[in-house]
Amino acid sequence: MIAELGQFALIMALLAAISQSILPLIGAERLDSRLMAFGSHASLVQLLFVILAFGCLTQAYIVSDFTLLNVAENSHSTKPLLYKISGVWGNHEGSMLLWVLILALFGAAVAAFGRNLPVTLKARVLAIQAMIGVGFLTFLIFTSNPFTRLLVPPENGQDLNPLLQDPGLAFHPPMLYVGYVGFSVAFSFAIAALIEGKVDAAWARWVRPWTLTAWIFLTGGIALGSWWAYYELGWGGWWFWDPVENVSFMPWLMGTALLHSAVVVEKRNSLKVWTILLAILTFSLSLIGTFIVRSGLLTSVHAFAVNPERGIFILILLAIAIGGSLTLFALKAPALKSGGMFSPISREGGLLLNNLLLSTACATVFLGTLYPLFMEALGGGRVSIGPPFYNKTFIPVMVPLFFLVCIGAYLPWKRADLVGVLKRLKYAGLAALLALLIAWYISDGGPLLAILGLGMATWMLLGTLSEWADRIKLFRAPLAKSWQRAKNLPGSSWGMTLAHGGLAIAIIGMISTTAWKVEDVAVLKPGETLSVAGTDYRFDGVKEITGPNYSAVEGTFNVSQDGVYMATLKPEKRLYTVKRMPTTEAAIYSTFVGDYYAVIGDPDGKGGWTVRIYREPLVTWIWFGCTLMVFGGLVSLADRRLRVGAPADKRKKKKVREAEA
């Protein structure tokens, strides 16, 4: 009964979305305030019905209702409650339902928070948002119904893929989806602006917080995913340039560009057409990401079950959304008036350069991800593109970007004095050189590129800090006064310092662990010791343990350095009983300077066990840096100016009107 209720709720949500996508548009055209206001009500109704549907499916998972095909295929009665719930979105149908839920949530949020949006703009934004909803609700109901019943329900379910039974992965998809889907708001705003034929500072001020919210979640989601890969897959790696990773990374790169270019629209009324295009492309890449994971277009380690019929449906959906919006762009964008002029060396120029570099980086990832497909279509056979491609194309684009980050932060609007800026960065430059020498000394002249990279990341970190110090006149004014200035610093300024600093720290982690990782594989008998990078790992044997839905062997390692005890590591090798799928559970001892990482493999039949030990220098800096970036985004989002932006603009308009009169 509850499943039928869920099915019914989905259909009601679709009807709400259909009316929401038509009536407000007509209202905005005819300036009919009742029709325009309908959009806000419909978006709330749509949200309530999607919540109801999602609740119904969650209930089916919690009580293990195996009369539902979806539950029977992806759950099991012995599964812990957390994974029963996360199992709701650990499959194609449920994850699409989550996608639609988040979309409806963002639509309703625009309706609720957008009280002082211009009414026509708001009506159009909600209508566009609803159109996306119509597409995906149709897709859900007609090709991916999560509420399909089984005529003969099985005794028990087939269990969730064991790799997904992990706390990190329970929260990774929802965060990623909030990121993907959050860009839909920027997209809807861009389309609405194209329809209205007007882009102004108020528009940018509205777009920024939504883009920022999406960006925060996407950053968090990607970081969580890479952290999961690091400790769950047992390879000691954190990024594999896998197509599915790439499709989450591309909207991130574009979204980062959008975040920066929206500032220029807001502050200087410039780069408008470009910002509109970025908003369309960012969400288009999110859509393509959702599509690629589900269509079976590319080979990947973590793709959903492939169904060609679904693939065609979602491809047509995407063609309408992306093709339609870009057609509108081609028709309407040339008429948009461009704003203030600026010299190449200025903050606008810096942000434009940032945009160009990020877009180029995104294009290289796009090319690398889809190159195998293009080659195959042209008859070149199957090829695979690995890290060497990205090392040669992506990194060279990112290097100048990282180098310029802290210079750009110093540049004033309109026109800047580059020599003056560089003079103020001289201490950061000297310190970066020093860091470079220290890295060279410690690593005995190790890989040159890694050492240069570390120097550059240090430059970025210290340059960012020095800009912050200059702003609050640290050491040049009394500390109390600096403190006062720091407190008065706007949230967006704090956010920038935190995000740029976090990026630099993450890069230091990435470079160090890539260049100086040490790994060793050996067969050890209990009592034997393996020495890796100066640390001793004594193998104390294995024992068999049993979890709720798996059995496992657990190895014990005593980790010590120069005879001083450091930690006990207990890696596991699990066999999930239902799916009969083995997984490795690495044991990691994390410290500030690096991780000690142990994996237990197979027995050799003579009392020995294959063990793999990794020493990963500074690897936790990657996720610490990402956390700082997320935190920076949150601080910036809390900036009062973003929230009360629209009224401020009204005052300006009033002044303009007065001046005109």
Partner 1 sequence: MSAKRKVIFALPLLITVVIFGYFFWALTKPGRDPKILPSVLIDKPAPEFDLKALDGLNVPGFARSDLISNGKISVVNIFASWCIPCLAEHPDMMKLGQRDDINLYGINYRDKPEDGLAWLNKNGNPYHRVGRDPKTRAGIDWGVYGVPETFIVDATGTIRYKHVGPLNTGDLEGTILPIIDSLQTQ
The residues that touch partner 1, with contacts defined as CB under 8 A, are 158, 273, 277, 280-281, 284, 291, 295-299, 306, 308, 311-312, 315, 318-319, 322-323, 326-327, 329-330, 333-334, 370, 373-374, 376-377, 381-382, 573, 575, 579-582, 602-606
Least distance (Å) from partner 1 to the CB of residue 235?
Answer: 14
Q: Which is nearer to partner 1, 14 or 281 (CB)?
A: 281
Residue whose entry in the numeric block shows the structure tokens 């890969």 = 229
Q: Which is nearer to partner 1, 8 or 291 (CB)?
A: 291
Q: Among positive and negative, which fits the CA dihedral 242, 248, 251, 254?
A: negative
Please give the structure tokens belonging to residue 483: 């403190």
Least distance (Å) from partner 1 to the CB of residue 334?
Answer: 5
3-class secondary-structure state, position 541: strand
Least distance (Å) from partner 1 to the CB of residue 330?
Answer: 4
Rounded (5°) CA angle 288-292-296: 160
Least distance (Å) from partner 1 to the CB of residue 327?
Answer: 6
Least distance (Å) from partner 1 to the CB of residue 174?
Answer: 27
Q: Which is nearer to partner 1, 438 or 523 (CB)?
A: 523
Least distance (Å) from partner 1 to the CB of residue 301?
Answer: 10
Among candidate residues 402, 390, 412, 513, the one with its CA nearest the CA of residue 458: 402
Q: Which is nearer to partner 1, 291 or 389 (CB)?
A: 291
Ordered DSSP codes for 519-533: EEEEEE-TT-EEEET
Least distance (Å) from partner 1 to the CB of residue 288?
Answer: 9
Q: Which is nearer to partner 1, 11 or 306 (CB)?
A: 306
Task: Tell how strand 550-561 and strand 564-569 pair up.
Answer: antiparallel
285 close to 254: Cβ distance less than 8 angstroms: yes
457 close to 402: Cβ distance less than 8 angstroms: yes
CA dist., res. 204 & res. 198, Å (int): 11
Neighbours of 80 (CB within 10 A): 12
Least distance (Å) from partner 1 to the CB of residue 357?
Answer: 19
Least distance (Å) from partner 1 to the CB of residue 637?
Answer: 29
Q: Which is nearer to partner 1, 34 or 580 (CB)?
A: 580
Ordered DSSP codes for 251-312: HHHHHHHHHHHHHHHHHHS-SHHHHHHHHHHHHHHHHHHHHHHHHT-S--TTPPPP-HHHHH
Least distance (Å) from partner 1 to the CB of residue 586?
Answer: 16
From residue 195, alpha-carbon distances to 113, 125, 128, 329, 467 in Å are: 22, 10, 11, 9, 40
Please give the structure tokens belonging to residue 601: 């493999």
Question: What is the b/e burial string over 559-588, where b = at least 16 CB atoms within 10 angstroms of the residue's CB?
Answer: beeeeeeebebbbbbbebbbbeeebbbbbb
Q: Which is nearer to partner 1, 306 or 442 (CB)?
A: 306
DSSP lists the bridge partners of residue 603 as 609
Q: Which is nearer to partner 1, 20 or 295 (CB)?
A: 295
CA dist., res. 415 & res. 349, Å (int): 9
Q: Which is nearer to partner 1, 332 or 485 (CB)?
A: 332
Q: Which is nearer to partner 1, 340 or 582 (CB)?
A: 582
